[in-house]
Structure 1
Amino acid sequence: MLNKLYSLCMPRSGGASDSSETPVHRYPSTIERGLTDCAPPNVGTVYDALLYRLGQEPDKTTMGRRRVLGISERTHPGSSGDEGSGKKWSYFRLSDYEWMTYREIAQLTREMGAGLAHIAGGLAGARVAIYAPTSREWTLCMLSCYSQAMEVVTAYDTLGDEGVVHAMNEAEACVAFVKADQMPVLDRIGSRLRTVKAIVYYSDFYGMPKAAEAALERVRGRFQVLEIAELRQIGQQHPRDLHVAGHGDTALVMYTSGTTGPPKGVLVAHGGLLSICGAIHELVPECIDYEADRVLSYLPLSHVLAFFVETYCLYSGIRIGYGTPRTLTEDNVEGCLGDLRALQPAVMLGVPQVWNTMRASILRQVVRRPWAVQQIFHGAVELKTWLTYYGLPTGLLDRVVFRQTRQGTGGHLKIAITGGAQVNRHVQKFIAATICPMIHGYGLSEASGLVSVQVPGDVTLGNIGPPVPSVEIKLVDVPENGYFARDGRGEIWVRGPSVFQGYLNNSAMTQEVLTKDGWLKTGDIGEWTPLGQLAIVDRKKNLVKLAHGEYIALEALESAYSNSKYVSNICVCADARMTRPCAIVNMDSASIAHWAAEAGIAYGSADELAANPDFVGLVYDDLAAAARQNNLHTQELLASICIDPELWTPENGMLTAASKLRRADIQKHNKKRLQDMYAHM
């Protein structure tokens, strides 16, 4: 492993001492044969991926979901102990997973596709906006569109009224597919939708709320409204032959969750997605049991990470089981297992916030044990990391020390995949030791979701692996930020079959990021490791110059400080007036209650505790320890912190739907706390 090169330089591709760019790197197998542009054997569209698996295993099951058998509500007491002062919380009783065969999926999507084509006037390339959370129905609608060469417009179910109006109008969607409880949104914005003719809806996890029932009647007065079963009936009454798009045709108009400004419509081709599937298929077969393994789908399918993974699963035959963030564990279910333990997945995707939360949950359990047991646990993490690095067996540690942590995720996880942002290397090491190997990937919508990923078996930390077989990468000078190719650093440029076609109706912005010879400028700063892996160093737009002229990278610091056990999320703040940054630390109320009890600090409310100097000092000291652990420089050390006890989520506008920080909104929400903190810096 120590002598393996994960990527190689293309001959005669630059990199001289005076060059403004590094040599072009590729995955070793593609140096001679060229980049991967489809999935074998020559599968080039998403619906062809389904048809390929249908031809191989028509009666194999996939796309499992759980039905809600009952919902109960309980009121949790507030911090004062008064039952009436707490919040109501829903608990779900769920069925076991229920599955569909590929034969059933093909039949259903062919009929639904015929129904969609009928109500859209039979126009090839007509667009259907899917405005719904991740579910089996989401995927069935997507496949139905592709059975008739229709394009899918993705809109996060947390996008908000203005974002939804912008996406549907700019993409000229003619049909909107929604979950029933989003009818009030369509009721509010319906008069502003210029091209939508019909609404197709489904009732799933929560059924049809009363507010949605009332809104549904008003929506019926403006649009043709169909329940999903009615759409299928129309397709049965007006059957059509399959009409599958071409390799180069648009599959997705994917509206990215920008942190500022209106969302942009990224045009992703079928061929781009299937080139990613072909690349994955070259990297993972040795560690996947395609007959038995399962993947848990709970991240937003409107995000490219979840979408391309699900496409690969449909193509390769890995079973997909759907879950929700609320029901992953037993915290919000009763009389049944959470999704993780019920499905027992072999592969799980997550953004860094998921892994930070999982690590914090494990640590909360560890600190309740005797001091000697805590030392054994942490020593076992270090020992397993060392053994794994040198390829030595770790079965005894897994059975004795980490059995309980592994069982919490179902006990069958082989690979944890993290993406969406940079995960802290210490968090990656912790998850790899206590649960399963974690591989770090890097991608963006403009590259069909995947640019580089650690190869299974690569146990190094702090990198995002080599270029996947569908792309080539070079690093280009960013002189204004002090990054030069001669030092092996620069902006990451990507080229290959998976690079996008451009932004919808925005040629100026397309030209800003896409060169004439096909290079995508990612805006991320990277460097090459000695083994040919890529590491993320910075992001061009998140560099801040401090008062003494030194630059700091906000996202890199947030990744480092996320190693603190107290951090659910963190927003580092700095400007040119400051000599050191400060930070807003986000902690959920359960974490606050636990750590306050551990420290013996009494409090009456979460807001009160967040301002308690003893508690703030406790958190600050742990952040300082995280800084030392990550070898941060003096100008990167936090001068002060404040604590926001309201958990940041996409629903309250503090995070994007991809769980990235909305800095301006977070700072506006914490304006008073920031002012108090600045006054004492």
Structure 2
Amino acid sequence: MSKQGHKASVQVSPGEGAFGPIYRSFLSPEQLVERPHEGIHTMYELMEEARKRFGDKKNIAWRDIVDEHQEQKVVTKKIGDEEVKETKTWTYYELSPYKYITINEFFKTVDEFASGMHQLGLNQKTVFNIFASTNVSWQVAAQSCFRQGITFCTSYDTLGPEGLQVSLEEPEVQGIFTNAQHLKVLEKIIDQTPLLRVVIYDGEADENILNRIHSKISGRPNAVLIHYDEVIRNGKQNMVGPAPTQGKDVACIMYTSGSTGKPKGVILTNDNLIATIASVTMLLKPYLNQSDSYLAYLPLAHILEFVVECYMMYYGIAIGYGRVKTLTSNSVRKCEGDLVAFRPTLLVGVPAVWELIRKGIVSKVQAASATKKKLFDMSMWAKSNNIPLFKQFAESVVFKSVRAQTGGRIRYALSGGAPIARETHQFLNTALTTIIQGYGMTESSAMCALMTPEFFCYGSVGCPMPSVEVRLVDVPEAGYFANKNPAQGEVWIRGPSVTQGYFKRPEITEEAITKDGWLRTGDIGQWDEQGTLSLIDRKKNLVKLSGGEYIALERLESTYKACNFVSNLCLVASSDAKQPMAVVFPREDNLRAALEDNNKKDIAHLELSNLCHDKVVQNMMLKKLNEVGKEAGFANMELLQCVVLIPEELPLTAAQKVQRKEVEKKYADLIKKVYP
């Protein structure tokens, strides 16, 4: 129950049989939200509203790469009984200060780029692809498509040739925007995409790659290989008016990162995107304002980042573009990292980012003096227990230095993409800022539920969005029932922000969406006492062990990942085993420090690949992980039977989610040696 005395959701229809009651947001019990206000039916109209209201505000910022610095480090490897020293090279960027332009200047570039696209024969009958890193030019390309009514599809810039080919072939793409560094990937599959005739790129490209791509497309009708700046120049000389579409028309086809196989193209209309932005506006209006600023660094090919940026533009909030590799000051040279340089008040991250930030803070605390360690621990305790006098000291002195690492101004942060570990959530909420969780997917135009400060609690993903209604459905084989107390089951959602289906994939559309419009999310949820939704796990991640009990792999992983010895991990479970096991990519610095502290100096200096094969290290990791599990109250069947350590990052999707099937396949031989 909120301070105002109402719950986060309202029941609008009773449950029956396997189907639980239908709930809506407390903000939209009578009618689901479709648009921020009358007169806005398309993304073009939404952005024109932003232009009209905030045109003179310097709300778009970025940094240029000034220089690259190479640094060499000597590492020690153990080959047999011999120690071998090897020199490795790391590259660090030196960046300019942030450069700002107004919203009017940004949309002037959009007008020119859109006119340039028109000159290239790209129109409402063609599909355009954006295969680029998160930056201003990505948004220029997308907003230009909205202006001219061109459907665009997205490809993660980390996709390999096969994934890119799917997102070019399936929608019959005729034009693409990419970065110079990604042209080599495009070159590999351009022969298999004969309809692609317009290639636009930014940055400085290798002349040999340009020549090869040019020769491959030169025989195609109206083929062009052209620089981004030239498209803008051509458009400036040949301006055309907008040609927007209607709300029901397809705005974009968002291709998933392919974590479970072939990437799927999710069809999103203007109506879908507008409804989501309208509901975010309604839900967050009491908390955000036009003096806020947002650091953008997640992939724009991910629906969450794309919708958040469009909302920020519409609401008049400044956007500064950063890079994952340059967020912190440790990862750049002769300049500050993006967080300190831009000093955002708002930040969005996936659990992997929050784990990295938490572990970075913990490492600095552990390296400090005994007095400073004790002061930090006391400050955490005082704030967690709301001790007034010491809490004030902790906020103004102890935590001030922690917050300085992220620019010192963050008011709210959003965690999405997967559940955040409770320990990490509590730690950062105390030491850094208020972190709210959200829940969504590409199929829901990013948002199904969102926590607000009014209903803040750990473990919850918050209130249903005002643009959707939610119900739970029985999963009897796993013991989840939607009409029992607590109500648990598969989360189904319906509403104007939910997709109509997958592009040219009727069979999976039929599997995912019911005839009356319910999207089967595959997530297992639970209604909480205050009407908020919590996620228990993914339906596909429920695994039955040899004792007949089900365990929820994703829920367990989110807790085990909080272990300071872990950079990343993936759980594997078998019906022939009593417990799961973990494939772990270790957090090298913390692991070595622990070995030193435990008088294992003869092991601590070994190359990481040798550490991973050492029995002492494996046992230490297993013991530490199970300590974390026991502290979290895990049942015996949820603790780990064994571990496999690997000296490399696990296979990830472009959205930074672990590819479970790929992990099991890639490390099958190592797993079989120890499990089940």
TM-score range, shorter chain: over 0.9
> What amino acid does structure 2 have at the position aligned with 1:638?
L
Trace 1:23-422 onto structure 2 (pairs within 5 A): 23-32=21-30, 34-40=31-37, 42-79=39-76, 85-121=86-122, 123-203=123-203, 207-208=204-205, 212-223=206-217, 224-290=224-290, 292-387=291-386, 394-422=391-419
Q: Secondary structure at the match of 1:138?
A: helix
Is contact 1:475-1:489 (8 Å) kept? yes
Is contact 2:24-2:469 (8 Å) kept? yes
Deviates more, 1:35-44 or 1:266-275: 35-44
Normalised to the residue count of structure 2, the TM-score between the two structures is: 0.94
Per-residue CA distance 1:138-192 (angstroms, 9 max, x = gap)? 1111111111000111001111101111110101111011100111112211111
> What amino acid does structure 2 have at the position aligned with 1:240?
V
CA gap 1:242/1:193 in 2 versus in 1, 3 angstroms: same
Is contact 2:456-2:462 (8 Å) kept? no
Q: Secondary structure at the match of 1:37?
A: coil
Question: What's the counterpart of residue 642 of structure 2?
Answer: 640
CA gap 1:450/1:125 in 2 versus in 1, 3 angstroms: farther
CA gap 1:613/1:378 in 2 versus in 1, 3 angstroms: farther
Cα offset for 1:626? 1.4
Is contact 1:588-1:646 (8 Å) kept? no
Cα offset for 1:457? 4.1
- Taking the aligned partners of 1:366 and 1:426, their CA distance within structure 2 comes to 17
- Taking the aligned partners of 2:277 and 2:593, their CA distance within structure 1 comes to 43
Is contact 1:352-1:422 (8 Å) kept? yes
Per-residue CA distance 1:508-548 (angstroms, 9 max, x = gap)? 21111111211111010100000101000121111111111
Cα offset for 1:314? 1.1
Runs of 5+ unmatched residues, structure 2: 218-223
Q: Secondary structure at the match of 1:655?
A: coil
Question: What's the counterpart of residue 447 of structure 2?
Answer: 450
- Taking the aligned partners of 1:216 and 1:608, their CA distance within structure 2 comes to 43
Question: What's the counterpart of residue 549 of structure 1?
Answer: 548
Q: Secondary structure at the match of 1:557?
A: helix
Is contact 1:77-1:83 (8 Å) kept? no
CA gap 1:565/1:42 in 2 versus in 1, 3 angstroms: farther
- Say yes or no: does 1:21 pair with 2:22: no
Give % identity.
32
Cα offset for 1:665? 2.0
- Taking the aligned partners of 2:207 and 2:402, their CA distance within structure 1 comes to 43
> What amino acid does structure 2 have at the position aligned with 1:25?
Y
- Taking the aligned partners of 1:376 and 1:276, their CA distance within structure 2 comes to 44
Cα offset for 1:595? 4.2
- Taking the aligned partners of 2:265 and 2:280, their CA distance within structure 1 comes to 25
> What amino acid does structure 1 have at the position aligned with 2:421?
N
> What amino acid does structure 1 have at the position aligned with 2:531?
G
Q: Secondary structure at the match of 1:78?
A: strand
Is contact 1:113-1:146 (8 Å) kept? no
Is contact 1:153-1:253 (8 Å) kept? yes
> What amino acid does structure 1 have at the position aligned with 2:113?
M
Is contact 1:589-1:645 (8 Å) kept? no
Is contact 1:75-1:87 (8 Å) kept? yes
- Taking the aligned partners of 1:330 and 1:668, their CA distance within structure 2 comes to 37
Q: Secondary structure at the match of 1:423?
A: coil
Question: What's the counterpart of residue 221 of structure 2?
Answer: none
Cα offset for 1:600? 4.3
Is contact 2:565-2:587 (8 Å) kept? no
Q: 2:631 aligns with which of 608, 624, 629?
A: 629
Give me the CA root mean square deviation: 2.1
- Taking the aligned partners of 2:197 and 2:2, their CA distance within structure 1 comes to 59
- Taking the aligned partners of 1:5 and 1:213, their CA distance within structure 2 comes to 63
- Taking the aligned partners of 2:338 and 2:85, their CA distance within structure 1 comes to 31
Cα offset for 1:672? 3.8
- Taking the aligned partners of 2:65 and 2:437, their CA distance within structure 1 comes to 34
Is contact 1:562-1:569 (8 Å) kept? yes
Cα offset for 1:65? 0.6
Q: Secondary structure at the match of 1:287?
A: coil
Per-residue CA distance 1:562-612 (angstroms, 9 max, x = gap)? 221112111111111111111111124444444444444333210111222
- Taking the aligned partners of 1:382 and 1:92, their CA distance within structure 2 comes to 38
- Say yes or no: does 1:508 pair with 2:507: yes
Q: Secondary structure at the match of 1:61?
A: coil
Question: What's the counterpart of residue 435 of structure 2?
Answer: 438
- Taking the aligned partners of 1:667 and 1:444, their CA distance within structure 2 comes to 25
Deviates more, 1:391-400 or 1:302-311: 391-400
Normalised to the residue count of structure 1, the TM-score between the two structures is: 0.93
Question: What's the counterpart of residue 521 of structure 1?
Answer: 520
Is contact 2:9-2:26 (8 Å) kept? yes
Q: Secondary structure at the match of 1:79?
A: strand
- Taking the aligned partners of 2:139 and 2:624, their CA distance within structure 1 comes to 43
- Taking the aligned partners of 2:170 and 2:633, their CA distance within structure 1 comes to 47
- Taking the aligned partners of 1:83 and 1:59, their CA distance within structure 2 comes to 60
- Taking the aligned partners of 1:329 and 1:404, their CA distance within structure 2 comes to 14
- Taking the aligned partners of 2:127 and 2:569, their CA distance within structure 1 comes to 38
CA gap 1:190/1:8 in 2 versus in 1, 3 angstroms: closer
Per-residue CA distance 1:204-244 (angstroms, 9 max, x = gap)? xxx44xxx332111111133100011111222343211112
Q: Secondary structure at the match of 1:22?
A: coil
> What amino acid does structure 1 have at the position aligned with 2:459?
G
> What amino acid does structure 2 have at the position aligned with 1:132?
A
Is contact 1:544-1:554 (8 Å) kept? yes
- Taking the aligned partners of 2:300 and 2:84, their CA distance within structure 1 comes to 38
Q: Secondary structure at the match of 1:485?
A: coil
Q: Secondary structure at the match of 1:36?
A: coil
Cα offset for 1:618? 2.5
Per-residue CA distance 1:626-647 (angstroms, 9 max, x = gap)? 1122211111110111212212
Question: What's the counterpart of residue 220 of structure 2?
Answer: none
- Taking the aligned partners of 1:393 and 1:124, their CA distance within structure 2 comes to 62
Is contact 2:131-2:157 (8 Å) kept? yes
Is contact 2:151-2:250 (8 Å) kept? yes
Per-residue CA distance 1:439-459 (angstroms, 9 max, x = gap)? 010000000000001112443
- Taking the aligned partners of 1:596 and 1:364, their CA distance within structure 2 comes to 15
CA gap 1:380/1:148 in 2 versus in 1, 3 angstroms: same
CA gap 1:84/1:579 in 2 versus in 1, 3 angstroms: closer
Count of aligned pairs between the two proteins: 660
Deviates more, 1:234-243 or 1:400-409: 234-243
- Taking the aligned partners of 1:83 and 1:241, their CA distance within structure 2 comes to 66
Q: Secondary structure at the match of 1:199?
A: strand
Is contact 2:159-2:654 (8 Å) kept? yes
Question: What's the counterpart of residue 607 of structure 1?
Answer: 609
- Taking the aligned partners of 2:590 and 2:45, their CA distance within structure 1 comes to 47
> What amino acid does structure 2 have at the position aligned with 1:585?
V
- Taking the aligned partners of 1:598 and 1:132, their CA distance within structure 2 comes to 45
- Taking the aligned partners of 2:587 and 2:65, their CA distance within structure 1 comes to 27
Per-residue CA distance 1:241-281 (angstroms, 9 max, x = gap)? 11122222211111101222211100011221121111111
Is contact 2:564-2:590 (8 Å) kept? no
Is contact 2:8-2:455 (8 Å) kept? no
Cα offset for 1:329? 0.6
- Taking the aligned partners of 2:87 and 2:455, their CA distance within structure 1 comes to 47
